[in-house]
Amino acid sequence: MMRAFRYVARFFLWIFASIGASVVVGCVSTALIFMFMPDEDLPPHMVLTLDLRGGVVDNRSDDPWEELRGKSSNYLRQIVEALEAARADDRVEGLVLRLHGDRLRLAHVQELSDAIAAFRKSGKWTAAHATTFSGIADYAIAAATGEVWMRPSGTLNTTGVAISFPHIKDALALFGVEAQIAQRHEFKSAAETFTRSQMSEPARTSWRVIAQSWFDQVTRNVAAVRNMTEDKVHALIDGAPHLGAAALDNGLVDKLAYWDKFATAQRARAGKDVTGGGDVAMVSIHDYEQTLAGKPETQAAQIALIHGVGAVTPTAASSPYGGDTMPADRTAAVIRKIARDDEIDGIILRIDSPGGAYGASDSVFRAVKFAREKGKRVVASLGAVAASGGYFIAMGADRIVAQPATLTGSIGVFGGKVVVAELWRKLGVNWAQIRVGAQAGMWSPHWPFEPGAQARQNAILDHIYRDFTEKAATERGLDAVAIDAAARGRVWTGVDAKRLGLIDRLGGLTTAVDEMRNLLKLEATAPVELQVRPAALSPLEQALEALKAGQSPFTAVRIFIAAVTPNTGSEVWGVRHWLATVTGGIQIPVEPRGILQLPAYHVTL
């Protein structure tokens, strides 16, 4: 009895100690954040710095430590809005980019390039420095500045576009595992990851067009900003990688120098532009943007900005995916709440999702339609990828905007199950089954589909495909011939999606805001305030949300501790890091029972 009492006492002591430690860590975190917050009194002369060495994200984080480290400066919307404000700010002399061979997504590069081009058009200068270039995407953003510097020991690896796809049918067969998965239709190649040893011709055709489109887009843009012909750029890409001297001789970079020399030169350049001379400070674009936050223009239209990032799942708790997810229950609830908010004039959905569950995607689609029924205008802004389930959600909006490189469409479905009957036989395990009902156990992985079950599964896939295509045709105003040409599971770039009528305009978030002005019948220069919904949650609010969602108090405490504890980067030694390294960042869909998702793939740009 005493031993049981001691265990209970230790348990509650651990709980109280954890809460106490969490409070202490939270207080220290808050104090540090306030200590390191940027001064609102910016210098009279400054050069903005954009550090892209950590990449770019399409969704802001609730992590206070990321705010402290300045990582949130890589939130795409903040960068674009800061550059828009800086165009008319006389204190800002120019902009410098810093890169380090980072794998950037081409659609993000295009959105940043548009913002940089508008910044340069206002009469300000821009320049970029890289230690090395990993590919054509990060080189393209540097080239957009008009002045490219590289470390003398760097390499320009502009080798082209490569998209890799794993096919694990033979690997599964080694263990006695068979994937019984069907697809609708020939271009819906996600199922091929499990069902084929090699890529099918329809899939190869579809993805070859995408790779060529990406290549042509970059070649065209680089040729324009570097004052070269497209054939010249093509030849230089074919001749890559280029060492520093060769990159300089071929006009791909303007100067070879280390960062300190580059920074000194940019300060001196800015000083010459300052009337009467004076000191020029380097200010991170994140710090600059923070001084602008919370200062809405008077009489601005109030637009809710909702981020839908990651695989579409029914709930956050049900997600089988790693990384960001778009829980349908939470996303739909936010949209419905905003639809009833009389202070909000419109909604912009920023979608960066490869798709996911059919029912979950349909739930968010219905919420979008509900918002429109309530009189709210809705614009979908597609990020690097908004395909399959991601496009399902977007097609309910009044207008759809995407970048030329955005992956979208993929109007199709696949589903089935993975059968492990032979694996169990090899292991000497025999399963017995008792069934009541003709199709009882049809989803069991221990037996193959029987004819009746297979027929029911095919009927489900036919229904989902018909529902997807009919809704797409209705929302986009396409006839039967047009929707058949655009669908069949095929993935498109934004350029082709516009030609097919799947989207309305090419562009990023700025273009989406313009579309919203048009829908609201506002002047082209009318002020608009974007309100991110839901607002960022504090660590305590994250824990309370977990309790409201039915999570246990222990889970809530763990969420709070994780939120207030800095990420030390120790995960680099963990299993997840090494698995990601081995697989090269491959995205593999899970639970292939009837989902709207892109295939597993890995892009090298």
The per-residue pLDDT for range 551-563, each reduced to its tens digit, is: 566 556 655 655 5
**127, 149 Cβ separation under 8 angstroms:** yes
Question: In one letter, which amino acid is 103?
Answer: R
For 326, the 3-state DSSP assignment is: strand
Query: Which DSSP letter does residue 13 get?
Result: H
Comparing 487 with 278, the larger pLDDT belongs to 487
Identify the weakest region by mean pLDDT among 108-112, 158-162, 585-589.
Answer: 585-589
The pLDDT value given to residue 317: 61
Q: How far, in Å, CA of 235 to CA of 355, rounded?
A: 36
Report the mean per-residue pLDDT for the chain: 82
Where is mean pLDDT largest: 124-128, 180-184, 563-567?
A: 124-128
The pLDDT value given to residue 604: 67
The pLDDT value given to residue 102: 76
Q: Which of 511, 542, 545, 507 is nearest to 528 (CA)?
A: 511
Identify the weakest region by mean pLDDT among 12-16, 184-188, 314-318, 574-578.
Answer: 574-578
Render pLDDT for 342-391 as a digit per residue (tens, 0 to 9). Answer: 999 999 999 999 999 999 999 999 999 999 999 999 999 999 999 999 99
Q: How far, in Å, CA of 382 to CA of 384, rounded?
A: 7
342 Cα distance to chain centroid? 30
pLDDT > 70? residue 99: yes
The pLDDT value given to residue 293: 62
pLDDT band, very low/low/confident/very high, at 413 (cuts 50, 70, 90): very high
The pLDDT value given to residue 478: 96
Write out the E strands in 395-500. 399-402, 407-409, 413-419, 491-493
The pLDDT value given to residue 569: 37
pTM recorded for the entire structure: 0.83
Average pLDDT on 162-186 reads 90
Torsion, Cα 233 239 245 248, to 10 degrees, reads 0
Identify the weakest region by mean pLDDT among 56-65, 126-135, 509-518.
Answer: 56-65
Q: What percent of the chain has pLDDT over 70?
A: 77
pLDDT > 50? residue 184: yes
Spell out the residues 6+ positions from residue 536 whose beta carbon is closer than 8 angstroms to its own: 60, 61, 62
